[in-house]
């Protein structure tokens, strides 16, 4: 029996759904639904200071208005912290983690992290986050990470010289997006990750963690990032306009066009479901 594929859309509730995130939702949905796989929605509400009240329900409502219906229950990272904690303890036991007290200011413009704290051996066990008050980083060494991206083809990075030791838990105790996403994609059995190419720099960090933890690496696909007319990436941070939920047909039509699917313009006079059927029949990975 062929294994059922599983994809996901993982919005951060830092604002309403905008065109850029709709494009990521549409691509991940079509890519998985063309195989009859399952499409999950996971709300990435792991970073309280970035959460905007009401954003997660507004995002879910927008998805529904666009007939982007997910399978199963929506999951919330804020309810899954114990999983990240457990994996962090495993990584610590494997001697892969160290404390880092460098400030953001100190490291401004410096990348990869120059390992300033790697040999300080700051205490990382049996110490509460309050007492610790410094971040935890993962150790990397010079090794190649290779992957074949559905959109971008073959890519490779050197973990030490291109990426360096990333923060997995901040000084305020919040687990990083990198740790949470890797743990969740694994525990939720995600086989396909389709997301914006603005997240491409994170992917080697994720693959490296998967390899250290003995997890399978999903198939990745990074789609072009939608920008405004000045070439600035559309994001909630830069005040991208929320989608108008009253014109889902137009929005999906434009998202398909953006993704290079070229729906016939006569479909603009049909129903949203007719457009979706066309999209599913004609979807090709680009």
Query: Which stretch in 8-16, 30-38, 81-89, 131-139 sits in contact with ligand GLU by CB under 6 A?
Result: 8-16
Q: State the Cα–Cα distance between residues 277 and 24, nearest whole angstrom.
A: 18
Q: Which is nearer to ligand GLU, 11 or 99 (CB)?
A: 11
End-to-end C-alpha distance for the chain, whole angstroms = 27
Nearest approach in angstroms of CB 202 to ligand GLU is 7
Instruction: Name which of 51 and 97 has its Cβ closer to ligand GLU.
Output: 51
Closer CB to ligand GLU, residue 181 or residue 205? 181
43 Cβ neighbours under 8 A, 6+ residues apart = 10, 11, 12, 13, 56, 59, 60, 74, 75, 76, 77
Provide the β-strand partners of residue 99: 136
Binding window for ligand GLU (CB under 6 A); candidates: 6-14, 120-128, 139-147, 250-258:
6-14
Residue 20 binding ligand GLU, by CB under 6 A: no
Q: Which region, judged by CB under 6 A, interacts with ligand GLU, from 4-12, 99-107, 165-173, 213-221?
A: 4-12
Nearer Cβ to ligand GLU (66/195): 195
Q: Distance between CA 122 and CA 151 in Å, rounded?
A: 42
Strand order through the sheet with 135-138 = 97-100, 135-138, 167-169
Tell me if 12 contacts ligand GLU by CB under 6 A.
yes
How far, CA to CA in Å, does 92 sit from each of 32, 70, 163, 187, 260? 35, 36, 20, 20, 45
Of 122 and 200, nearer to ligand GLU (C-beta) is: 200
| Nearest distance, CB of residue 31 and ligand GLU, angstroms | 13
CB 48 within 8 A of CB 174: yes
- Residue 25 engages ligand GLU in binding (rule: CB under 6 A): no
Piece of 10-18, 58-66, 100-108, 266-274 that binds ligand GLU (CB under 6 A): 10-18
Question: Does a cis peptide bond (omega within 30 degrees of 0) precede residue 112?
Answer: yes
Q: How far is the CB of 268 from ligand GLU (least distance, A)?
A: 29
188-217 residues near ligand GLU, rule: CB under 6 A: 195, 199
Give the rounded distance of the alpha carbon of 282 from its chain centre: 26
For ligand GLU (CB under 6 A), the number of binding residues is: 7
Considering only CA atoms, which of 66, 3, 29 is closest in space to residue 195? 29
**Spatial CB neighbours of 15, under 8 Å, sequence gap ≥ 6:** 52, 55, 236, 237, 240, 242
Identity of the residue, 100 or 181, whose beta carbon is nearer to ligand GLU in the bound complex: 181
User: Degrees (nearest 5) of the Cα angle 240, 75, 17?
Assistant: 10
Indicate whether 10 belongs to the interface with ligand GLU (CB under 6 A): yes
Question: CB under 6 A: which stretch of 9-17, 111-119, 140-148, 260-268 binds ligand GLU?
Answer: 9-17
Give yes or no for residue 254 binding ligand GLU (CB under 6 A).
no
Confirm or reject binding of residue 184 to ligand GLU (CB under 6 A): no
Collect all residues with Cβ–Cβ distance below 8 Å to 173 and sequence separation of at least 6: 129, 130
Distance CA 25, CA 70 (A): 10
Residues 34-53 that bind ligand GLU (CB under 6 A): 44
Instruction: Please give the residue ranges that form the binding site for ligand GLU (CB under 6 A).
Output: 10-12, 44, 181, 195, 199
């Amino acid at each position: 029996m062929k294994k059922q594929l599983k994809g996901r859309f993982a919005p951060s509730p830092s604002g309403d759904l905008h065109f850029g995130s709709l494009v990521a939702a549409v691509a991940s949905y079509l890519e998985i639904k063309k195989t009859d796989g399952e499409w999950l929605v996971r709300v990435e509400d792991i970073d309280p200071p970035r959460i905007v009240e009401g954003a997660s329900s507004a995002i879910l409502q927008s998805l529904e208005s666009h007939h982007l219906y997910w399978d199963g229950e929506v999951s919330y990272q804020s309810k899954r912290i114990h999983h990240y904690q457990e994996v962090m303890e495993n990584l610590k036991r494997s001697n892969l983690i160290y404390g880092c007290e460098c400030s953001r200011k100190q490291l401004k413009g410096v990348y990869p992290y120059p390992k300033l704290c790697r040999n300080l051996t700051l205490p990382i066990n049996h110490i509460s986050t309050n007492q610790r008050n410094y971040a935890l980083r993962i150790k990397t060494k010079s090794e190649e990470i290779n992957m074949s991206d559905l959109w971008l083809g073959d890519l490779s990075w050197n973990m030490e010289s291109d990426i360096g030791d990333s923060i997995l838990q901040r000084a305020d105790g919040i687990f990083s997006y990198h740790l949470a996403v890797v743990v969740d994609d694994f525990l939720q059995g995600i086989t396909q990750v389709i997301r914006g190419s603005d997240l491409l720099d994170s992917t080697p960090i994720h693959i490296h963690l998967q390899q250290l933890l003995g997890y399978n690496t999903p198939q990745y696909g990074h789609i072009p990032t939608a920008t405004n007319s000045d070439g600035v990436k559309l994001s909630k941070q830069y005040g991208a306009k929320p989608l108008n939920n009253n014109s889902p047909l137009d929005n999906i039509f434009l998202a398909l066009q953006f993704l290079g699917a070229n729906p016939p313009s006569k479909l603009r006079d049909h129903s949203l479901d007719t457009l979706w059927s066309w999209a599913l029949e004609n979807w090709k990975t680009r």
